[in-house]
Amino acid sequence: MFFALGILISQFINEIIKTLVEQARPETCALLEMCDSHGWPSSHSQYMFFFAVYFTLLTYYKIGILARKQFWVVGLLVWPLAILTMYSRVYLGYHTVAQVFAGAALGAVLGGGWFWVVNSLLRCYFPAIEESAFGRFFYVKDTSHIPNVLKFEYENSRAARQHVSYKRSS
């Protein structure tokens, strides 16, 4: 939930910067007739680097779905995808190199900053959010205290399948 909120805030910041700076996209983008907004900073690069930094920090501090022993997923999947996104935006002619690097830098800073805000300032409110009417209606759950969420969910779903009260009636 907080990750999604961070992505929305990041996108909002991107739109404000694009509106204020109004830097044009490269000529190749105009030739494609696909570009209807400004190019600096690249929102795709910003999103991917926000995700990469946030996910890396979640994994490193054992907060997310992966445990530290699964940290290789971050290095072999998440970061190459972020870099490939940068490359593709330039290769396809939608952005200049400077625009994708600006987006990547902004995304990395916002991802790290948002991680700090959530885990230093907002984490103490997680139980209250979970117990609120909003939390109960939308099934919001606080998993910040669970070291390996993926393993926890797997073991609990297997145990629930064996329990009589969870069996569906035919």
**Per-domain residue ranges of the chain:** 2-166
The conformation of residue 63, written as its DSSP 8-state character, comes to -
Specify the range with the lowest mean pLDDT, choosing from 23-32, 53-62, 147-156. 23-32
Residue range 57-86: average pLDDT?
Answer: 78
Q: In the prediction, which pLDDT does 15 show?
A: 85
pTM of the model: 0.77
pLDDT band at 82 (very low <50, low <70, confident <90, very high): very high
pLDDT at 42: 84
SS (HEC) of 84-130:
HHHHHHHHCCCCCHHHHHHHHHHHHHHHHHHHHHHHHHHHHHHHHHH
Out of 54-63, 119-128, 155-164, the most confident range is 119-128
Instruction: Give me the mean pLDDT over the 115-136 stretch.
Output: 88
